[in-house]
Amino acid sequence: MIEAEEKRSRGRPVTTDPAAVGLTALKLFHKLGIDRVTMDDVALQAGISRSNLFRVFPSKAAVVWGGMHRITEELKLQLANNPETSVIKLLHQSWVSAMQLLDNSPDTVRLRLKLIGSSPKVYGWGHSQLEEARKVLEAAIAKLEEPNSVRPKMISSALIAVSMSVLTWWAETDDPRSVAQVLDDSFYDFEVIFAQVSQSGP
């Protein structure tokens, strides 16, 4: 009877806040090193049961990359509802708008990105999620390009790479701008650079 009561008192299966648990885990990963922290450590620090933790986050990768699926879904909506016919402007506007979802929790986002940029292993955990977002971008670009063109794959791959480079830099340097703002500024700069290259000719 005592054991059953103790198990019930460890966590809150229905009301556990994923954002709070995630932030607790990210702080531990950042402080001690992600390889030195177990999910049991996270559950103990968060004051919940191990089983309840795994209902919210099935792995350390899920903690670090949490939220990417929401961004991809928002990206689909932004691309579908944007009438822009310029590929560059369409991708710029839609990607920045989707990333505004992250602006409600900049401290959490910084921790995630610092961890993602900390090692190829951690970055690699999110490859499938980044690839899902890239395919969404590729499909949107393909509608504006010639059939069988390599451009949709090339441009979508470049956008993902540039975005991750900008975001990890933003996190590591503690840049004061919002996620959406630093991406917006960087994309404008990116467009200017490539416009100059195009104008200079071969």
Q: Which helix (H) or strand (E) holds 128?
A: helix 127-142
**Cα–Cα distance for residue pair 126/63, rounded to 1 Å:** 11
Listed in sequence order, the residues at least 6 apart from 85 whose beta carbon sits closer than 8 Å to its beta carbon are 144
3-state DSSP call for residue 64? helix
Amino acid occupying residue 8: R
pTM, to two decimals: 0.80
What is the CATH code for 2-63?
Answer: 1.10.10.60
Q: What CATH architecture is 66-200?
A: Orthogonal Bundle (1.10)
pLDDT of residue 200: 54
Q: Which pLDDT does position 99 carry in this prediction?
A: 87
Residues of the chain with pLDDT under 50: 1-14
Angle (CA) 64-30-28 rounded to 5° is 85
CA distances to 43, 69, 117, 145, 170 from 154, rounded to whole Å, are: 42, 22, 23, 12, 24
Q: Residue ranges per domain, the chain?
A: 2-63, 66-200
- Asked if domains 2-63 and 66-200 share a fold, the reply is no
Cα gap 146→90, rounded to integer Å: 17
